[in-house]
Structure 1
Amino acid sequence: MKKLFYVVALTLAAIPTAFAEPPATFTEAKVIAKQKIYLDQASSAMGELYCGCKWTWAGKSGGRVDLKSCGYEARKVKTRAERTEWEHIVPAWTFGHQRQCWQNGGREQCVDSDPTFRAMEADLFNLYPSVGEVNGDRSNFNYGMVSGVAPQYGQCTTRIDFQQKVAEPRDEVKGLVARTTFYMFDRYKLSMSRQQQQVLMAWDKQHPVSAWEKQREQRIAAIMGHDNPFVTGARKWTLGYAPQGADAAPMAAARPAGKPTLASAAEGSAVIGNSNSHVYHLASGCPGYGQVSQKNQVAFGTEAQAQAAGYRKAGNCK
């Protein structure tokens, strides 16, 4: 419990310079994902995974969706549409079915008896907040192209084909879900169908890594202790790719142990945002750069990244 408290207590700004151990359970992962990766994303332009909705945090790891922010209309279950849920981009059902524990007793058996399954279930690269209703509708369906399906969630462009059991996410995240899927299948040596490979390879090509996806990858790598090589460019998925497994995964650069000071956090970032005011400060020309409370610091590499996350430049910057 002490260890979990330490991990959660670290601020987002600490991520570029501080190494923290990966979460051991899905429950821990959801709390850490909120505090360390998505805390400042609830009101960002990117929004949640499937519809780009903004949300407000509620409780340890949940949130309440602002349906008007994305023009969302509930398909069937409004109460579920109004809350965020943690989506496994590669569903637990998908990776669980490739484990013997699932055959012996399903997800509960895997959680109880299989350390590899627990690692997969808690892998931060594979988690993203999403509108609960869409998360439920997506179920364990593979990603793919959906045609002939009318809009199901108002202005949200994600489509679910319940008959074919296929989900097509909005264009803005197609590249991200493809590279996340490649990572999961590569790291945990999972088998992927030829059809699924072809769809995801096309999305990977059509939708290059965005500034936010790169920043997300860096935040997660600092905690997990390794990169997603399909985001960094160290690996490329090709048809018939042979998964290499965790032992072969490129490791992230070592981070110094211990909780960083305000100065050490600031030194590693060109831009420091204040998660409380959503104002950012530059290392040069902004008097407030070194004055942001450590608990409110959010590190950005560029002004563009800060602006994309919904931050505005401090008025006293020269």
Structure 2
Amino acid sequence: MYKKILLSLITVLAVVSGAQAAGNEWNESFNKAKKMLERQVYYDHRVTLYCGAVFDEKKNVTLPEGFTAAKHIKRAKKIEWEHVVPAENFGRAFAEWRDGNAQCVDNKGKPFKGRKCAEKANREYRLMQADMYNLYPAIGAVNAARSNYNYQMLPDEKPDFGSCGMKIADRKAEPPVRARGQIARTYKYMAAAYGPRYQMSRQQTQLMDAWDKMYPVDAWECTRARRIKALQGNGNPFVELACQNAGLW
């Protein structure tokens, strides 16, 4: 019994240690990441993260019954690839995003900064931006409304999208129950793989730890992680270990 416990502990430590060392190390293209997800990961499970909406190979969405959107109506017709950990949340750790770079000058000679500059001038940023573990399909209108807001419980708010259950208020977002476990394990992966470039606040860490425990993996989350690992070359140990414990790996 003692040996089994010791072996389990060693396995956990090895897995978590690996997460701290390994993020996306080869694909620098956000567009390539989206295409691989569309064609090689989600090809038989075209369902959005937040609302569970079905979409086709051309990214056209079949909106769930009862879904409503007050803004970004045109974007509700298509899915978009959402950074669960917003690009801005890790992008601001890069000087190119904050201050610009000598490479970041447009064709009129005007300097620029922000996301475009970080993407142009910093390979590390491009790798983080293209990490497929952090990219999920979302109805475009939901992606637009969520923006770069952090997740938080909003018990006094009503859902912004009818039957979908996504809540947004005061620059915060509360995702539906169906998405919380996947979100938590994505946040934990990004913090482990890309620290100190990306770090969670104490409050965010506590929330993600709670969601990780409350909302376990399912077969699709495990399948998704296996496929991304085969394509990207590194694993998400927070998903893998949970899948192994659930007999889904």
TM-score bucket of the superposed structures, by smaller chain: 0.7 to 0.9
1:37 to 38, 41, 44: 41
Q: In the alignment, which residue of structure 2 is the partner of 1:312?
A: none
Aligned 8 A contact 1:23 1:32 in 2: no
2 CA distance for matches of 1:99 and 1:116?
A: 9
- State yes or no: 1:86 paired with 2:76: no
CA distance in 2, matches of 1:168, 1:158: 6
Separation of aligned partners in 2, 1:102 and 1:176? 28
Structure having the larger proportion of residues in strand: 1
Tell me the distance in 2 between the aligned counterparts of 1:171 and 1:151. Answer: 12
1:159, 1:121 → 2: CA distance? Answer: 25
Pairwise CA distance, 1:151:
2.4
Indicate the RMSD between aligned Cα atoms, in angstroms: 1.9
Partner residue of 2:166 out of 125, 135, 158: 158
Inter-partner Cα distance in structure 1 for 2:237 and 2:95: 28
Give the 3 Å change call, closer, same or farther, for CA 231–99 of structure 1 in structure 2: same
| Residue 205 (structure 1) aligns with | 213
Structure 2 counterpart of 1:258: none
Structure 2 segments unaligned to the other structure (5+ residues): 1-24, 100-112
Q: Deviations over 1:22-43 (max 9, x none)?
A: 532101111111011111112x
Is 1:129 equivalent to 2:119 in the alignment?
Answer: no
Identity %: 42
* Alignment length (residue pairs): 206
The residue that corresponds to 1:27 in the other structure is 31
SS in 2 for 1:149: coil
Partner residue, 1:96: 91
Picking from 54, 58, 61, the partner of 1:65 is: 61
SS where residue 203 of structure 1 aligns? helix
Q: Which residue of 2 aligns with 1:193?
A: 201
For residue 124 of structure 2, the aligned residue among 113, 116, 119 is 116
Conserved 8 A contact 1:22-1:223 = no
What is the alpha-carbon distance in structure 2 between the residues aligned to residue 112 and residue 70 of structure 1?
41
Shift of residue 82, structure 1, vs aligned partner: 1.2
* Contact 1:22/1:224 (8 A) holds in 2: yes
User: TM-score normalized by structure 2?
Assistant: 0.78
SS in 2 for 1:200: helix
Query: 1:70–1:156: 8 Å Cα contact kept in structure 2?
Result: no
1:174 has 2:180 as partner:
yes
Q: Is the contact between residue 54 and residue 70 of structure 1 (CA under 8 Å) also seen in structure 2? A: no
Secondary structure in structure 1 of the residue aligned to 2:56 = strand
Q: Whose helix proportion is higher, 1 or 2?
A: 2
The one-character-per-residue Cα deviations of 1:224-270 (angstroms, maximum 9, x if unpaired) are 11110111128xxxxxxxxxxxxxxxxxxxxxxxxxxxxxxxxxxxx
CA contact (8 A) 2:72 2:144 kept: no
Match for residue 215 of structure 1? 223
The amino acid of 1:148's aligned partner reads: D
How far off its partner does 1:70 sit?
A: 4.4
Structure 1 regions of 5+ residues with no counterpart? 1-20, 235-300, 306-318
Q: How far off its partner does 1:75 sit?
A: 2.2
